[in-house]
Structure 1
């Protein structure tokens, strides 16, 4: 079992949760003049962290990788400053936000299923396959 992968999945769950809260905030402000939508970015962090391990301690490929301490913030909220097509300066499109919310929920549930599967495999291994 790749424990670094579980760590990344935990980070992804937290980020998907934050993304959901951000989408809800955007939808709540769909009619607020001059409100600029917010977006959560974290996929880049996960891609970079895949190979971010302390090297030199593994003597066998079956040994567990030791994640290095990475002080960078794994996900950020950024304001989307794109030009608004609306007269009130608001750039939230409720249809786009709703589609993003569905996609985010599907991704969140996929990660939950993957974590559950990993722990089920571990549980089976601990019990000796029975």
Structure 2
């Protein structure tokens, strides 16, 4: 029973979301720490877009169903479980020293990520409490 709970899709998505939020916090903190470092290029964490592709969602959050229209078509392989990826933004420059960190954008991103992290931990706690209730409901 415990193995089924730990391997459930909700638990998996929430765990990967928390890992992505933790990584994003570290990356944003690194960007902020290097705001005055010449030639530093900011980085960002990509997770939500990759997860949407894993779940086959379009830009509006609707599920895209894939079908094979002919037996000779290649089978549609589902991608593996995606994880957060750090991507460096080397395409922009904010100042003459080639640094592209905007402190206002980074601070806003940090606040947004904190809200995301808090929501994920709340949802994970709620999921665990629901599972605990299911497990103990049959006991006297």
TM above 0.5: yes
Count of residues in correspondence between the two structures: 113
Gap runs ≥5 in structure 1: 52-67
Q: Distance in 2 between matches of 1:94 and 1:43?
A: 23
Deviations 1:37-88 (A, max 9, x none): 000001122223336xxxxxxxxxxxxxxxx882x65121111123213111
- Say if 1:69 and 1:81 are closer, same or farther in 2 by CA, change over 3 A: closer
Larger mean CA deviation between 100-109 and 40-49 belongs to 40-49
1:25 corresponds in structure 2 to 30
SS in structure 2 at match of 1:32: coil
Q: Which residue of 1 aligns with 2:41?
A: 36
Contiguous gaps of at least 5 residues in structure 2: 57-77
- In the alignment, which residue of structure 1 is the partner of 2:21? 16
Give the whole-Å Cα distance in 2 for the aligned partners of 1:84 and 1:129. Answer: 61
Residue 99 of structure 2 aligns with which residue? 90
Equivalent position of 1:116 in the other structure: 125
Aligned pair partner of 2:11 in 3, 6, 30: 6
Instruction: Indicate the RMSD between aligned Cα atoms, in angstroms.
Output: 2.2
